[in-house]
Amino acid sequence: MKWRLIELHEKDAYFNTAIDEIISEFVSEGKSPPTIRFWKSEPAVSISYKQNLHKDVDVEKCKLRNHGIVRRNSGGRADLISEGDICYSVFIPSSYLEHNHMDIIKNYDLVGKKVSKALKSLGIAAELKNKCDIIVTKGIEGKVGNLAQFIKKNVVVIHGKVRHSIEPYMMLSLFYCTSCNDKHLLSEHYTELSKSIKSVKDYSNVSENDLYIRIRNALTDGLDYDVGYYNPEELFAVKRLISEKHKSQEWINGTGKEPSRGCCDEYWDLTSKVTKKS
């Protein structure tokens, strides 16, 4: 079966979160082909399915800035999806893999190393580190992207982003620090964190469109695919899922018993980048 490539397009955060769930179900059931989709979103905070929203995110600040908040199906930590991000979602049937589809490290490697290769083609020495971080390793070290994943039956879903541009202070002011004992926003650590929170623009003058083309070419290399779009059944299903789940405050708020996990730019894997307050 040929892959389906959905070219870069913009949808709101609720659609982008819900459609990943719908496509995973449809691919699992054989209703949709293996798919790679590229997408953008207006600014929105994305938290993992098992994360405490109110301990990690300044919800009122998000409302003031008109930023949406979505709870995705994958794990990891909170993140800001911004207008300067190029995002992707890859839906891989387990039968297409040479390894056990439950091997999360190999799943990350399959996609993250291709994204790193795309950046290397632009002269940016990026590597997949800490399982799911895209890190520039030469010159000024910095994180320019990240990945997360979830497994739906017999389908692996890996979604991630590369930052073409970013405003670190604005991003950090949305999240609470989880490294220190007192409650404060990550923006209080701006001076140290901004040294490692980077975007492609910090290393290259490549345009956003050219960056997208490099990432698209890397992720589709060697695949037999057709350019397509969402089918009517997917669009019908996602509309209902957005209404019933992803815009539901019950889903977004969670139970309140989830652990605090922090922001993914505060932690690179399990290591905090914050110098703790004494």
pLDDT, block means (10 residues), the chain with 278 residues: 96 98 98 98 97 98 97 96 97 96 97 98 97 94 96 96 97 97 96 95 98 98 98 98 97 97 90 85
d(CA 109, CA 45): 25
Residue 171 contacts residue 157 (beta carbons within 8 Å):
no
Alpha carbon distances (Å) from 81 to 43, 153, 154, 198, 236: 5, 27, 27, 14, 25
What pLDDT score was predicted for residue 276? Answer: 85
What pLDDT score was predicted for residue 1? Answer: 85
Strands (E), the chain: 3-10, 35-40, 44-47, 68-71, 79-81, 85-93, 126-129, 133-136, 142-152, 155-163, 225-227, 267-268, 271-272
**Yes or no: domain 3-259 corresponds to CATH 3.30.70.100:** no
- Token output for 31: 């209703």
User: Residue for token digits 């997208």?
Assistant: 212
Query: Whole-prediction pTM value?
Result: 0.96
Strand, helix or coil for residue 92: strand
